[in-house]
Homo-oligomer: A and B are copies of this chain.
Amino acid sequence: MFDDLIARLIAGERRALARMVSLVENNDPASRAALAQLHALGGKAHIIGITGSPGAGKSTLVMQLVRELRRRDQKVAVVAVDPTSPFTGGAILGDRIRMQDLVGDPNVYIRSMASRGSVGGLSSATRDVVRVLDAAGFDTIIIETVGAGQAEVEIVRAAQSIVVVTVPGMGDDIQALKAGILEIADCFCVNKADRPGADQTAAELRMLLSLDTQRGKEDWKPPIVKTIAATGEGVPQLADALAKHLAFLRASGQIVVRGERQARSEILALLYQHLLSRLNATLGADRFNEIVADVAARRSDPYSATDEIAREIGIGEN
């Protein structure tokens, strides 16, 4: 049923793209068959993840990077993942509005992801939207996430090249970088580099990187690029660094390793969804709630309860 839509999508029809992204974003069950087909068509785009603290100027930077890549004659898509709360489903759409000036360009596509209610949901929706954009022939797809926590690490790992944006004078932030983000960065960007302390921040990053014993000699050494997103200064250098990183990934075979890591984590996430459906179909929500209440009231313990559920749904005792 999606053959026509997919054909129009590949032909570059804008409305087909918007329609497919919506289907996928809404997790329409029918869209799975289409996604399976689209998966086979993808693998050509350079997928860039941009993350960092709120206030680092990421959106402006992304906008400038899009403009730079357009000058290099690329088709560019942006997936802006808003900071969503797992509790309220709130989403900040400001970033999207600030990008409106690029909306007229037929070779630019910008999508702000609405909340998916959970980290798992948001990262799987992001992955699927990227899959659509990849099949649709975009040369570069930029995933922008706000903040730097486990959610962002999860989402940004769908990218091939990860940029961590920081600004001068974020001492505590650099400390926080140590935990979680530092190791996944392929490129650092010290934005607002006209502010005092830019060189010091760059030096601190360089020192942190030198302490990172996980990286071997043949590994990629993340460059540190200073930018002023407001004026566009340093953005061509950032684009160059990213192109270099892609070339490194291809030459070293790392692109395969990353692809497999992503496939693994996606399959495990999909299997967990299977598990939940199975739980619902065989045990049922009422019985599950009863078990949960028994554990909470300490009439049962979580381990025996889980063993029992596992047996009932058919994955017990190996």
How many residues on chain A are close to B (CB under 8 Å)? 84
Chain B residues lying within 8 Å of A302, measured Cβ to Cβ, are 36, 39, 263, 266-267, 270
Chain B residues lying within 8 Å of A268, measured Cβ to Cβ, are 276
A151 to B54, CA, bound (A): 18
A8 to B86, CA, bound (A): 41
CB of B303 within 8 A of CB of A36, answer yes
Chain B residues lying within 8 Å of A184, measured Cβ to Cβ, are 87
Is A260 engaged at the interface, CB distance under 8 Å to the other chain? yes
- Shortest CB distance A53–B (Å): 7
Chain B residues lying within 8 Å of A318, measured Cβ to Cβ, are 277-278, 280-282
Residue of B nearest to A40 (CB): B298
Contact with B along A305-318 (1 / 0, CB 8 A): 11001100111101
Is A88 engaged at the interface, CB distance under 8 Å to the other chain? yes
A212 to B146, CA, bound (A): 21
Contact of A274 among B32, B33, B310 (CB under 8 A): B310
Contact with B along A36-51 (1 / 0, CB 8 A): 1101101100000000
Is A296 engaged at the interface, CB distance under 8 Å to the other chain? yes
CB of A272 within 8 A of CB of B275, answer yes
User: Which residue among A296, A302, A306 has the maximum number of chain B CB atoms within 10 Å of its CB?
Assistant: A302
CB of B267 within 8 A of CB of A298, answer no
Is A210 engaged at the interface, CB distance under 8 Å to the other chain? no
Is A92 engaged at the interface, CB distance under 8 Å to the other chain? yes
A256 to B272, CA, bound (A): 27
Contact of A309 among B153, B267, B278 (CB under 8 A): B267
A: residues with CB less than 8 A from B are: 32-33, 35-37, 39-40, 42-43, 53-55, 83-88, 90, 92, 119, 146-154, 171-173, 175-176, 178-180, 182-184, 212, 214, 256, 259-260, 262-264, 266-268, 270-272, 274-282, 291-293, 295-298, 301-306, 309-310, 313-316, 318
